[in-house]
Amino acid sequence: MTIVEAVYTASYPKVSMCPPNMIPEYAFIGRSNVGKSSLINMLCDRKDLARTSKKPGKTQMLNYFIIDKAWNIVDLPGYGYAKRSKSKRDEWRKMIEGYLQKRQQLMCAFILLDSNIPPQKIDMEFLNWLGQARVPFAIVYTKTDKLSKDKLESNLNLIRSEILKTWETLPQEFITSSNKRTGKKEILSFIGDLNANF
């Protein structure tokens, strides 16, 4: 699948305000500065569709992008960003959880994990919450161009081992690099298959 048109439509502070149209949606979420905006831009072949920032916590609402007038990418706020008030973090958490649990159009949540660092407790807790909430998800390993092949595989195996402490099998995985455009074809093909079954 190739994306021809990608357009930002609107941002919403809660799931009840999201568009009523029944078309497939794919959420992208991860810790702050995991490379989410860069990945979305790479998938859509746009430089500034999703705005990147060196400052964490820039995404604060449910940001919608309609793709080829047929399906939506939803850019969710990053989780675990500590430099905000507890009340603001709680507000984001409720918004994220409300969207993931209540949005009928959601086909898959892509959970972004930084391939350069060891497994993070907050990531594992979020994956386990998704399982308990029965939210369909896939894992996207980001920034894979920054490590040697051996070091990358070692880091990924550490993350996989941590996941398998609570999961019987690994979820769908994608190896990506926004700089080298790695993983684009695989993710879009996966989305295309899900769209066909919507």
3-class SS at 127?
helix
Paired sense of beta strands 173-175 and 137-142, if any:
parallel
Task: Tell me the residue ranges of DSSP E strands in the chain.
Answer: 6-12, 25-30, 62-67, 71-75, 106-114, 137-142, 173-175
pLDDT of amino acid 52 = 60
Whether this prediction's pTM lies above 0.85 is answered by: yes
* Residue partners of 139: CB distance under 8 A and separation at least 6: 110, 111, 113, 127, 170, 171, 172, 173, 174
pLDDT of amino acid 48 = 86
pLDDT of amino acid 26 = 98
Chain-centre distance for alpha carbon 119 = 17
pLDDT of amino acid 81 = 59
pLDDT of amino acid 56 = 46
Give the integer Cα–Cα distance in Å for 38 and 53: 10
pLDDT mean for each 10 residues of the chain (198 residues):
94 94 96 91 92 58 96 90 65 90 97 95 95 97 95 96 96 96 97 95
pLDDT of amino acid 59 = 66
**Sequence-ordered alpha helix ranges (H) in 45-148:** 86-102, 121-132
pLDDT of amino acid 79 = 79
pLDDT of amino acid 33 = 85
* Structural domains in the chain, sorted by start: 6-196 (3.40.50.300)
pLDDT of amino acid 57 = 46
